[in-house]
Amino acid sequence: MSNKPQLEVCLSPALLHLFDTKDRIVVIIDVFRATSTIAAALDNGAKSIIPVATVEECIELGEHTDNSITAGERNGKVVEGLQYGNSPSEYSKDFVAGKTLVLTTTNGTKLLHMVEGAAQIITGSFLNLSAVCDYLIKQNMPVLLGCAAWKDRFNLEDTLFAGMVVDRVKEYFDINCDSAYAAEQLHHSLNGQKPIDFLKNSAHYKRLSAYGLQSDMEYCATVDKHNVLPVLHGRELLIDK
């Protein structure tokens, strides 16, 4: 028996019920684009981020929260009734510093609300890869990497990120999970390419490209540009310090 904590990868919210989330660190991964936006906004000085499930909650909470911004998307577009979208480049220091971002998205915020009993919930993306890996190693607890996927469908971008994490932290964990192994192989198949070049093959890249969001995805695929660790405290994501 290994004394190392277990690490597993869940490829879709539709598979979440197969995994134990209790007493684990669950890493929510929604590279295009919720968890990238979260890392960018917090790194640029947002006070906190409140992920919410529905547009109605987002609007209502925005009305009752001082100095807040309501933001979100459905199917890649800003939703009517919300002020901003789900693009990390929208949240510059000048704009977001000191504000609370109330955020609702198609996949990432949904997954976050599905997780039950976790010891901690954190969010990961290429933008904060090293912060996530360093934290997981330091905590020395069981981990579930949770891919937000696209409407429950397996996606390349979240899996590739999970594979990068596996590759970096694996010596510290006991891993007996085919999804983790496959994700790591996907990472190895990058073979020197930049993540974005690989991710141009993904269905989501093609989908968002149709809205002219290529530069947004390039942003999201940049490693360690916003190297902060968002941790859920109550209903708010805050930077771990």
Is 21 a residue that touches its own copies (CB under 8 A)? Answer: no
Binding residue (CB under 8 A) for its own copies from 7, 12, 59, 87 = 12
Is 181 a residue that touches its own copies (CB under 8 A)? Answer: yes
Binding residue (CB under 8 A) for its own copies from 107, 159, 169, 219 = 159
Q: How far apart are the first and last CA of the chain?
A: 34
**How far apart are CB 200 and its own copies at their closest, in Å?**
11
Binding residue (CB under 8 A) for its own copies from 92, 130, 140, 185 = 185
Q: What is the CA radius of gyration of the chain?
A: 17
Is 196 a residue that touches its own copies (CB under 8 A)? Answer: no
Nearest to 53 by CA among 97, 91, 131, 109: 109
**How far apart are CB 149 and its own copies at their closest, in Å?**
9
Nearer to its own copies, 135 or 161 (CB): 161
Binding residue (CB under 8 A) for its own copies from 38, 155, 168, 221 = 155
What tokens does 206 get? 């093609």
Nearer to its own copies, 40 or 156 (CB): 156
Nearer to its own copies, 167 or 240 (CB): 167
Asked whether 38 and 133 are in contact (CB, 8 A), the reply is no
**How far apart are CB 159 and its own copies at their closest, in Å?**
6
Interface residues toward its own copies, by CB under 8 A? 11-12, 14-15, 18, 150-156, 159, 176-179, 181-182, 185-186, 188-189, 201-204, 206
